[in-house]
Amino acid sequence: MLKKKHYLALGVVVLAVLLIFSLPQRATSRLKLAVSSIFLPVFGLLNTAQQLPVAAADTVMPRSALLKKVGELENENQQLRIQMMQAAANAQENDQLRVQLGWQRQAPWKLKLAAVVMRDPANWWRTVEIDLGSRDGVRENLPVLTPDGLVGRVLSVGLTRSQVVLLGDPYCRVSALVENPAHDIGVISPGGPLDTSLVALTYLSGNAVLKPGQDVVTSGEGGVYPRGIPIGQVVDSQTVEFGLYTEARVKLSANLGALDQVWVLFP
Amino acid sequence: MNLLNPILILAAAFLVVFGEAAFPLLRHWFGAQVDLLPGLMVYAALNADIVTVSLLAALGGLWFDALSANPLGVSVLPLFAIGFVIHVQRELILRELPFAQFILGAVASALAPVLSVLLLLTGGREPLLGWGSLWQWLVMTAGGAVATPIMFEFFNWCRLSLGYQLRTETSFRLDREIRRGKL
C-alpha cells in the first residue's frame, strides 16, 4: 500500500521533471552538456583502450611493410598534387569568369577532421557525437561529411564535443538536386527507422523523370549546405498524393552505420 | 543502512547508459539498441527502497537523455512510473522466480520506450517512427526480458561477494540446555 514516503518520492520526481521541462532552451542545453560531461572520463578511457591494440600493432609492423606503404602514399601524393594543380587552374578560371559575369566568388572549403565518439542510445533519433566543440570553432548547422558524401549537420555544440544530426533523422532535411537533364529539386527526408542507408527524396515536381542510379547532390538552397556535395543515388521513384508530387528513395553515398571519422565543413 | 545496493544500482545505470552509447553492436546486428535501464528498474523496484527507485529514475533518465537527442527529462517519468508501480505491488510478485523476472523485464522494456515516445509526441517532437519501429520495439522488449534475470543473478552475486554475509545461528544455547539427572 502507498505510504507517506511513496507520495513524497512521487511528488519530488514529478516536480523535478516539470522544473526541467519549464527551463528555457538555453538553460536546458547547458544542463544537458553538464550532465553529459560526467561521461567524458569514461569515453577518454575507452578511446585509450581502443588505441592500445593499434599502438601494439604499430610496434610489431615490419620495416618492409612500412616502406611499401610509404611508397604507395608518395605515389598517391604526387597524383593528388597534379590533380590539385589542375583544380587550382580551373578554380582560377572559374573565379575570372565569375568576376566577368558579376557573380559572387566561391570561397574554398575549410575542413576539420573529427572522430565519432558515440551514437544516440535512443532508437528514434539518428545522431552521433564528435570530438570537436566550440573551442575548435564548431558552430551549429555546419555541414558534416565524409569523402563519400554528406553525413548531416551540427545540431548542438559543447566546449569539446558536438552533436551531429545525420541524414534520415526528422531534424535533418536537406534541399537536394537530382543530376538529370531537368535538375529536379526535392527535400531529403527520413526514409525509415531500420535502414540507415536509405532516405526519401520528397517534394519533387509531379512530372519529374528519375532513373535509378542518377546522382543526388546538395542544391545549395537553404543556406546551410554548399551546392554540389554528393548525397547518394536514386534507387526508385513513384508519384504520390494523386500525382501531386514525386517521391524517390535515395541510397546514401556515405555509410552512416560505420562512421568513425567525419569532416566538419567550415564556410 | 546498507548503501552497497543503491551504489551498485546507480553505478550499473551509469555503465548501462555509457555502454548503449559507446557500443552500437546490437544496432548493427538487429537494427535496434536494447535499453537495459527498464530491466535495471525492475530489479531496483523489487530489491531496493523508494529513494533508490527515485534516484535511479532521475539519474538514469537524465544520463540517457544527456547522451541522446531526447529533451532532457523525457526518460525520467516512464522509468519512475514503471519502478513506482512495481515497488508498490512488490509484495504480490514472486521476485525470486526467473520467469517472473523475465516477464517483468519484458513488460518494463516494452512500456518504457512507448511512454517516452508518447511524451515526445505530446511535446511536439517528431521522433523517427515507421513500420520498422515495431521491429525495434520487439527487439527492445526481447532484449530487456532476457537481460533482467541476468541482472538479478549479477546483483545477487555482487551482494553475496561484497556485502555482509548472513550469520547462521544454531538452535543450541547453553543457558537453555536441558540437563538430565541420573533418573
Per-residue pLDDT tens digits for B112-148: 999 999 999 998 998 999 899 999 999 999 999 999 9
B160: its cell numbers: 553475496
Instruction: Give A64: exposed, middle or buried? Use CB within 10 Å, 0-12, 13-18, 19+.
Output: exposed
| B162-179 pLDDT tens trace | 877 766 777 777 777 777
DSSP state letters, A24-78: -HHHHHHHHHHHHGGGHHHHHHHHHHHHHHHHHHHHT--HHHHHHHHHHHHHHHH
pLDDT in the model for residue B137: 95
Task: Name which of B50, B70, B77 is nearest A6 (Cβ-Cβ).
Answer: B50
Could A120 and B69 be called an inter-chain contact, meaning their C-beta atoms sit closer than 8 Å? yes
Q: How far apart are CA A123 and CA B130, in angstroms?
A: 12
CB contact (8 A) between residue B64 and residue A122: yes
What tens digit of pLDDT does each residue of A155-204 get? 989 888 899 999 999 999 999 999 988 889 999 999 888 888 899 999 99
Of residues B63, B130, B65, B115, the one with CA closest to residue B85:
B115
Termini Cα distance of chain A: 62
Let me know: does B57 contact B80? Beta carbons within 8 Å: yes
Q: What is the per-residue pLDDT for B5?
A: 87
Higher pLDDT, A29 or B111: B111
- Which comes out higher in pLDDT, residue B63 or B24? B63
Does residue B41 carry a pLDDT above 80?
A: yes
CB pairs under 8 A between A and B: 141
What is the band of A36 on the pLDDT scale with cuts at 50, 70, 90?
A: confident
Nearest Cα residue in chain B from A23: B72
The predicted pLDDT at position B166 comes to 67
- Residue B25 clears pLDDT 90, i.e. is over it: no
User: Rounded mean pLDDT of chain B?
Assistant: 90
Which pLDDT score is estimated for A188? Answer: 93
The residue to which cell 512530372 is assigned:
A207
pLDDT at A110: 86
pLDDT band at B48 (very low <50, low <70, confident <90, very high): very high
- The predicted pLDDT at position B161 comes to 84
pLDDT classification of B9: cutoffs 50, 70, 90: very high
Please, which residues have CB within 8 angstroms of residue B55's CB and are 6 or more apart in sequence? Answer: B6, B10
Largest CA distance in chain A: 83
Give the up-direction half-sphere exposure of residue A59: CA atoms within 13 A in the CB hemisphere: 5
Query: Among A252, A249, A251, A253, which Cα is nearest to A236's?
Result: A249
- Segment A106-117 shows an average pLDDT of 84
A39 has pLDDT over 60:
yes
Contacts of A123 in chain B (CB under 8 A): 27, 32-33, 113, 128, 133, 136, 140
Domain ranges of chain B: 4-176
Q: Using 50, 70 and 90 to split pLDDT, how confident is the model at A221?
A: confident
Contact B68 A125 (CB under 8 A): yes
Write the DSSP symbol of residue A103: P
Residue A245, min C-alpha distance to chain B (Å): 21
Task: Please provide the DSSP assignment of chain B as one string.
Answer: ---HHHHHHHHHHHHHHHHHHH--HHHHHHSSPPP-HHHHHHHHHHHS-HHHHHHHHHHHHHHHHHTSSSPTTTTHHHHHHHHHHHHHTGGGS-TT-HHHHHHHHHHHHHHHHHHHHHHHHHTT-----STHHHHHHHHHHHHHHHHHHHHHHHHHHHHHHHSPPPPP--S--GGG-------
**Closest residue of chain B to A163, computed from CA coordinates:** B69
Percent of chain A exceeding pLDDT 70 equals 99
Task: Please tell me the distance from the alpha carbon of residue A178 to that of residue A184, in angstroms, as a whole number.
Answer: 5
Quote the minimal CA–CA distance from B122 to chain A in Å: 12
CB contact under 8 A, A170 and B127: yes
Count Cβ atoms below 10 Å from residue B129 Cβ, excluding itself.
Answer: 18
Percent of all residues in chain A with a pLDDT value above 90, rounded to a whole number: 44
Q: Report the 10 Å Cβ neighbour count for B48.
A: 19
- All three cell numbers of A136, joined, read 575548435
- How does pLDDT run across A55-90, given as a tens digit for each residue? 888 788 888 888 999 999 999 999 999 988 888 888
- Predicted complex ipTM exceeds 0.95: no
Cross-chain Cβ contact B54/A12 below 8 Å: yes
CA A9/CA B68 separation, integer angstroms: 26
**A26-47: average pLDDT:** 87
Strand, coil or helix: A251: strand
- Helices within chain A (DSSP H only): 4-22, 25-36, 40-59, 63-101
pLDDT of residue A59: 81
Nearest to B128 among A9, A35, A170 (CB): A170
Roughly how many angstroms between the first and final C-alpha of chain B, as a whole number? 52
CATH number of A110-267: 2.40.10.350
Q: Which of A174, A108, A115 has the alpha carbon at shortest distance from A141?
A: A174
Query: What pLDDT score was predicted for residue A80?
Result: 92
Identify the three-state secondary structure at position A253: coil
Task: Quote the pLDDT of residue A1.
Answer: 60
